[in-house]
C-alpha cells in the first residue's frame, strides 16, 4: 500500500515541470520520492558516481562544479540536477556539493522514465538541451502575436499590374477597372524621360521583364487618387500620357520586411501604396487600407507627429508619447527586433526633423554632408534608455575656415535637440559636435583604414561604435560607401579580427541567479545585473566580429547573424541559439523597462533577480550560457595566427 505524502505533493506541484502533470500522476509520483539530508559542505555527487534518481533541492543550496573545479551552477529550493547523467546513462561528470544544510528529494529513475515517456511537456523540460528550451520559450511568445511578426509579403494578394509610361490615362483607368486594382506600376519604355533617372529610391531600384525579354525600369506609380486629383479635377485630356501624372521617386520596400515596417515607411513618406520588391522585382503593391487592420492602435503615429513639430520644445514634448508607444508595443508582445526598429525609426525621425529645423534656422548647407547614426540606433536595436551616438560626413571639398562654422552650429543644434528629446549626450563624446567626428569623407576613409590596418586599444573601441553606422540625412549613400569599405577591408585583416574578437570578450555574462542575487562566474553575488552591458552588448559585439569576418554589410544583429549563418562559419545550431539568446535577453530588458515606465520610475538596463519570474530566470540563465559558449568559440576561431 502506498500513501500520499501531502507535503511532498503540495511542494512539487509548485514547480516546473511538475506543475504540468495531472494531479493523479503527480500524486503517484510523490509517493515514490526518496529523501536524504546533506550537511553543509558534504559531497552529494562525486565524479564517476552512478545516478539512479534525479535530484530535487527541497531546502538549502548546492553547487555544481566542472571537472576543472570551476563553478558551473548553483541551485537553491526547486532546483533539479543530475538528470543529464541519468538521461544519457553516464556516470556523473560534474560533482555536486551542499553549500547549505540541504534536503534532497530523489525521484527514482523508473518513475522518471515513465513520466518522460508519457508526458510531453514534462519531457520537453529535460530532454533537450537547454538551448532548445530557450527556443521554445522564444517561439511560444512569438506565437502569441503573429500579426505583429508577419512579413509584408503575407499581405500581397496578387501580382502588380504594370503599364508603360507611354500609355494614356484613359487606358490606365480602363486597365485598373478591368483588374480591380487601385494602383498601377509604370515602367519606362522610352529612354527620353529624364525624371525617372533622377528618382530618389528609398528601396533598391526595381525592374520588370517585358514580354520580349527586355528589362524595363519601374519609374512610377499611379493610383485612383492620382486620376481624380491630377487628371479629372485638372481637366486634362484622356490621352494624356501616364508619365505626366504619375508619382515618381518611388518608395518601395523588400518583401522580407515586417508588416509593421511597411506601415512605418508609409507614415514617414506619406504614401498610401507601397510596391513590394523581391530581388529587385516588384511582386505586389500593398495599400494603406491593407495595413489598417494591422494597425492595432500603435502610436507609431508618433513618427508622423514628429515631422509636424515646429520647435525643439514641441519635439521634446513628444517624449511621453514615445514612451507610451514603447510600452504599448511591449504589451502587444512585439518582438525585440520590431521594438528596436520602431524605436530606431523614431530616433531617426527626431534627427531628421531636427536637421530640417536646423537647416531652416542656419540656411542651406554650404557643401553636401551626411548625418550618421551610430551604435544601437544604426543597428535598429535602440530601446528606450539610450544615449546619442552620431557623427557627420562632409563633402571632400570641406574647408574648415569656410565651412566648419556652419556645421559646428548645425551639430550643436541637433545634439542639444536630441538631449532635450531624451537622448542624453554621449559620455564618450561620440557626437557630431566633436570635431574629430565631423570630418570630410576622405578623412573617414582614412580613419577606418587605419583602425582596421593597425588596431589599437582605442581604435578597437571606436570600431565597435562606428562600424555600426547608418546614414539618416543628406548624402546617405556615403554611409553605404563607408560600410562597403569596412566590409571589404575588415574580412581580409586577420589581425584586426583577432583584436576585435579579443575585445568582444571583455564583457562576460554572469553565471545565472541564486535566490535574490546575481551569481558571477567566480561565485560572487551581486544585487542586480545590467542586461545591456552583460547581455545584449557582448552579444552584439560578438556577432559584429563574425559579420565583419564574412563581409556582411548588414548592421542589425539579427540580419548579421543570418549572413553569418549563411556563410557557414558557425558550428551547427549555434547561429539559431545565438538568435534566441539575443531575442530573449532583449525581451527581458524591454519588459523590465516597460514595467519601470508603467510604475512611473526612470527605466534603466538593470534588473534585480527578485523582480524576475521563474521563467525569466531560467531562460536568461540559458541565454547567458549560450553567450558564454559563443565567446569561447570566438576566442578559438579568431586567433591572431590562424588562417580562416
Does the protein bind another protein through residue 1 (CB under 8 A)?
yes
Long-range contacts (CB closer than 8 Å, 24 or more residues apart) made by 628-632: 628/508, 628/509, 628/521, 629/574, 630/539, 630/542, 630/574, 630/577, 630/578, 630/581, 631/504, 631/505, 631/508, 631/538, 631/542
**44 counts as binding another protein under rule CB under 8 A:** no
Nearest to 223 by CA among 249, 184, 251, 190: 184
CB of 76 to another protein, least distance (A): 11
**Position 25 contacts another protein (CB under 8 A):** no
Stretch 66-105: interaction string toward another protein, x if CB under 8 A: ----------------------------------xxxx--
Asked if 273 and 288 count as a contact pair (C-beta separation under 8 A), the reply is: yes
| CA distance readout (Å), 248 to 202, 251, 252, 355, 563 | 12, 9, 11, 24, 33
Give the length of the chain: 644
Strand pairing category for 390-394 and 369-374: antiparallel
What is residue 421's DSSP assignment? Answer: T
Does residue 113 touch another protein according to CB under 8 A? no
Q: Please report, for residues 284, 328, 376, 426, the alpha-carbon distance to residue 300 in angstroms, rounded to integers and kept in the order given.
A: 24, 10, 19, 26
Binding status of residue 32 toward another protein by CB under 8 A: yes
Q: Of the two residues 7 and 143, which places its CB atom closer to another protein in the complex?
A: 7
Using the rule CB under 8 A, is 494 a contact of another protein?
A: no
Binder of another protein out of 14, 19, 36, 239 (CB under 8 A): 36
* Binding window for another protein (CB under 8 A); candidates: 37-45, 223-231, 260-268, 391-399: 37-45
Residue 33 or 547 having the CB closest to another protein = 33
User: Strands 253-254 and 273-278: what pairing?
Assistant: parallel
Q: How far is the CB of 519 from another protein (least distance, A)?
A: 20
Smaller CB distance to another protein: residue 19 or 39? 39
Residue 639: CB atoms within 10 Å: 14
The Cβ of residue 34 has, within 10 Å, a number of other Cβ atoms equal to 11
Binding another protein by CB under 8 A: which of 14, 19, 39, 66? 39
Site for another protein in 334-393 (CB under 8 A): none
Is 232 one of the binding residues for another protein (CB under 8 A)?
no
Q: Residues 286-325 vs another protein: string with x where CB under 8 A?
A: ----------------------------------------
Residue 43 in the binding site for another protein (CB under 8 A): no
Strand partners, 372: 391, 471
Output the smallest distance, CB 582 to another protein, in A. Answer: 38
Name the minimum Å distance from CB 108 to another protein: 8
Considering only residues 18, 55, 72, 106, which one is a binding residue for another protein as defined by CB under 8 A?
106
Q: Does 6 bind another protein (CB under 8 A)?
A: yes
**Does 55 participate in binding another protein (rule CB under 8 A)?**
no
Would you count residue 13 as binding another protein (CB under 8 A)? no
Residue 24 interacts with another protein (CB under 8 A)? Answer: no
> Torsion angle of alpha carbons 586, 587, 593, 594, nearest 10°?
150
- The helix (run of H) or strand (run of E) holding residue 616 is helix 614-637
> CA dist 47 to 64, 92, 97, 101, Å?
11, 5, 11, 21
Q: CB 98 → another protein: shortest distance, Å?
A: 10
**Which residue of 12, 51, 58, 193 would you call a contact of another protein, by CB under 8 A?**
58
Span of 57-65, 441-449, 470-478, 534-542 interacting with another protein by CB under 8 A: 57-65
CB of 106 to another protein, least distance (A): 7
463 touches another protein by CB under 8 A? no
Query: For residue 400, which of 352, 444, 360, 438 has the smallest C-alpha distance?
Result: 438
**Nearest alpha-carbon partner for 129 in 632, 573, 521:** 573
Question: 3-class SS at 408?
Answer: helix
49 CB contacts (<8 Å, ≥6 apart)? Answer: 91, 92
Which member of 14, 19, 34, 244 binds another protein (CB under 8 A)?
34
Stretch that binds another protein, among 28-36, 224-232, 504-512, 518-526 (CB under 8 A): 28-36
Minimal distance, residue 257 CB to another protein, in Å: 54
Q: For another protein, how many residues bind (rule: CB under 8 A)?
A: 27
Nearer to another protein, 32 or 628 (CB): 32
Q: How is residue 72 written as a grid cell?
A: 558551473
Bridge partners, residue 273, by sequence: 287
33 scored as a contact of another protein (CB under 8 A): yes
Rounded (5°) CA angle 155-156-159: 175
Q: Is residue 5 involved in binding another protein (CB under 8 A)? A: yes
**d(C-alpha 161, C-alpha 222), whole Å:** 11
Is residue 165 within 8 Å of residue 220, measured between CB atoms?
Answer: yes
Cβ 63 to another protein, closest distance in Å?
A: 15
**Residue among 7 and 429 whose Cβ is closer to another protein:** 7
- Tell me if 617 sits within 8 A of 513, measured CB to CB: yes
Q: Minimum Å distance from CB 486 to another protein?
A: 57
List, in sequence order, every residue forming a beta bridge with 140; answer none if it has no partner: none
Under the criterion CB under 8 A, does residue 59 sit at the interface with another protein? yes
Closer to another protein by Cβ: residue 19 or 488: 19
Q: What is the DSSP string of 191-221?
A: TT-HHHHH---SS---EEE-TTS-EEEEEEE
Interface segment toward another protein; rule CB under 8 A; list 34-42, 249-257, 576-584, 599-607: 34-42
> Is the CB of 107 or the CB of 549 nearer to another protein?
107
Q: Is 403 in the site for another protein (CB under 8 A)?
A: no
Summarize as ranges the residues that interact with another protein (CB under 8 A).
1-3, 5-8, 11, 30-39, 42, 58-60, 100-103, 106
Amino acid at each position: 500500500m502506498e500513501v500520499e505524502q501531502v507535503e511532498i505533493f503540495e511542494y512539487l506541484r509548485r514547480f516546473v515541470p511538475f506543475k504540468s502533470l495531472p494531479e493523479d500522476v503527480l500524486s503517484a509520483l510523490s509517493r515514490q520520492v526518496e529523501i536524504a539530508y546533506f550537511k553543509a559542505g558534504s559531497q552529494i555527487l562525486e565524479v564517476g558516481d552512478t545516478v539512479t534518481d534525479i535530484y530535487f533541492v527541497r531546502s538549502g543550496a548546492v553547487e555544481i562544479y566542472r571537472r576543472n573545479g570551476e563553478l558551473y551552477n548553483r541551485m537553491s529550493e526547486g532546483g533539479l540536477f543530475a538528470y543529464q547523467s541519468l538521461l544519457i546513462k553516464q556516470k556523473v561528470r560534474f560533482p555536486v556539493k551542499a553549500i547549505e544544510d540541504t534536503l534532497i528529494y530523489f525521484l527514482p529513475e523508473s518513475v522518471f522514465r515513465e513520466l518522460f515517456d508519457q508526458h510531453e511537456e514534462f519531457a520537453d523540460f529535460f530532454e533537450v538541451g537547454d538551448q532548445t528550451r530557450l527556443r521554445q520559450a522564444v517561439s511560444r511568445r512569438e506565437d502569441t502575436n503573429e500579426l505583429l511578426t508577419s512579413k509584408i509579403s503575407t499581405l500581397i494578394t496578387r501580382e502588380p499590374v504594370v503599364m508603360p509610361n507611354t500609355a494614356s490615362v484613359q487606358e490606365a483607368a480602363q486597365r485598373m477597372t478591368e483588374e480591380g486594382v487601385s494602383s498601377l506600376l509604370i515602367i519606362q519604355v522610352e529612354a527620353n524621360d529624364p525624371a525617372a533617372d533622377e528618382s530618389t529610391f528609398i528601396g533598391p531600384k526595381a525592374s520588370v521583364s517585358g514580354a520580349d525579354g527586355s528589362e524595363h525600369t519601374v519609374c512610377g506609380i499611379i493610383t485612383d487618387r492620382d486620376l481624380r486629383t491630377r487628371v479629372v479635377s485638372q481637366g486634362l485630356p484622356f490621352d494624356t500620357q501616364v508619365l505626366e501624372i504619375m508619382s515618381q521617386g518611388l518608395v518601395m520596400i523588400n518583401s522580407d520586411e515586417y508588416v509593421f515596417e511597411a506601415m512605418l515607411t508609409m507614415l514617414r513618406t506619406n504614401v498610401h501604396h507601397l510596391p513590394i520588391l523581391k530581388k529587385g522585382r516588384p511582386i505586389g503593391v500593398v495599400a494603406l487600407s491593407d495595413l489598417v487592420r494591422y494597425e492595432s492602435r500603435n502610436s507609431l503615429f508618433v513618427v508622423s507627429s514628429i515631422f509636424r513639430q515646429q520647435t525643439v520644445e514641441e519635439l521634446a514634448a513628444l517624449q511621453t508619447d514615445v514612451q507610451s508607444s514603447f510600452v504599448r508595443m511591449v504589451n502587444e508582445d512585439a518582438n525585440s527586433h520590431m521594438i528596436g526598429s520602431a524605436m530606431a525609426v523614431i530616433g531617426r525621425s527626431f534627427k531628421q526633423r531636427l536637421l530640417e529645423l536646423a537647416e531652416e534656422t542656419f540656411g542651406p548647407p554650404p557643401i553636401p554632408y551626411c548625418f550618421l547614426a551610430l551604435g544601437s540606433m544604426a543597428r535598429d536595436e535602440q530601446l528606450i534608455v539610450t544615449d546619442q551616438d552620431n557623427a557627420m560626413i562632409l563633402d571632400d571639398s570641406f574647408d574648415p575656415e569656410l565651412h566648419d562654422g556652419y556645421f559646428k552650429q548645425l551639430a550643436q543644434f541637433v545634439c542639444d535637440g536630441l538631449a532635450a528629446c531624451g537622448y542624453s549626450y554621449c559620455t564618450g563624446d561620440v557626437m557630431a559636435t566633436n570635431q574629430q567626428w565631423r570630418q570630410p569623407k576622405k578623412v573617414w576613409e582614412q580613419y577606418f583604414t587605419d583602425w582596421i590596418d593597425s588596431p589599437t586599444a582605442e581604435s578597437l573601441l571606436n570600431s565597435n561604435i562606428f562600424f555600426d553606422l547608418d546614414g539618416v540625412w543628406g548624402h546617405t549613400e556615403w554611409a553605404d560607401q563607408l560600410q562597403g569599405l569596412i566590409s571589404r577591408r575588415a574580412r581580409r585583416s586577420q589581425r584586426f579580427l583577432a583584436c576585435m574578437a579579443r575585445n568582444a570578450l571583455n564583457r562576460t555574462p554572469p553565471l545565472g541567479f541564486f535566490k535574490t542575487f546575481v551569481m558571477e562566474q567566480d561565485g560572487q553575488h551581486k544585487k542586480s545585473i545590467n542586461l545591456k552591458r552583460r547581455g545584449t552588448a557582448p552579444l552584439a559585439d560578438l556577432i559584429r566580429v563574425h559579420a565583419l569576418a564574412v563581409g556582411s554589410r548588414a548592421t542589425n544583429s539579427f540580419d548579421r547573424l543570418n549572413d553569418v549563418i549563411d556563410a557557414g562559419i558557425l558550428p551547427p545550431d549555434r547561429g539559431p541559439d545565438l538568435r534566441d539568446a539575443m531575442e530573449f535577453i532583449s525581451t527581458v530588458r524591454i519588459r523590465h523597462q516597460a514595467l519601470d515606465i508603467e510604475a512611473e520610475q526612470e527605466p534603466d538596463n538593470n534588473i534585480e533577480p527578485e523582480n524576475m519570474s521563474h521563467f525569466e530566470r531560467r531562460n536568461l540563465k540559458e541565454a547567458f550560457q549560450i553567450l558564454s559558449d559563443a565567446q569561447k568559440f570566438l576566442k578559438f576561431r579568431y586567433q591572431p595566427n590562424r588562417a580562416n
